[in-house]
Amino acid sequence: MKLALDTNILAYAEGVNGIAKRDVALELVRSLPPEAVVIPVQALGELFNVLVRKAGRSRTEARDALLGWRDTFAAVETSPETMLIAADLAIDHRLGIWDSVILAVASHAGCRLLLSEDLQDGFTWGGVTIVNPFASSRHALLESLLGREAE
């Protein structure tokens, strides 16, 4: 089973929004089988902006962080067709275009889960279910991937 990571998971793992979120995000990403994880290129671009604008990192430091994530997990590009699908998704479900791109890319990559705290937990589209990994009770598919039974 494949899953995609949204920008906020990456940002938290980089220490944005405090140590508590960082520790949970790092524990999560370290527990995931690397071959099962993809990162939409859109999420990497958004992460760069968050690290520079919100975290105050230099552009070089932000670039190094992106390289680290790309070296750890497969990065998945946005095709022109995926962008059009994302536009339809944004229209049909009133999502932001960049969130729609991430969800459409996850679907195109064959992911079953998109880990995100920002999108609607439990929303399913294109075979992808959005799961908030910070929720008090984790989704059964995520727990299965982590090798644990659902809480």
* pTM greater than 0.75 (yes/no): yes
**pLDDT tens-digit profile, the chain (151 residues):** 999 999 999 999 999 988 999 999 999 999 999 999 999 999 999 999 999 999 999 999 999 999 999 999 999 999 999 999 999 999 999 999 999 999 999 999 999 999 999 899 999 999 999 999 988 888 888 888 887 644 4
**Predicted local distance difference test score (pLDDT) of residue 150:** 45
* Domains of the chain, first to last: 2-145 (3.40.50.1010)
* CB half-sphere exposure, 149, CA atoms < 13 A: 0
Q: How many other C-beta atoms are found inside a 10 Å radius of the C-beta of residue 40?
A: 28
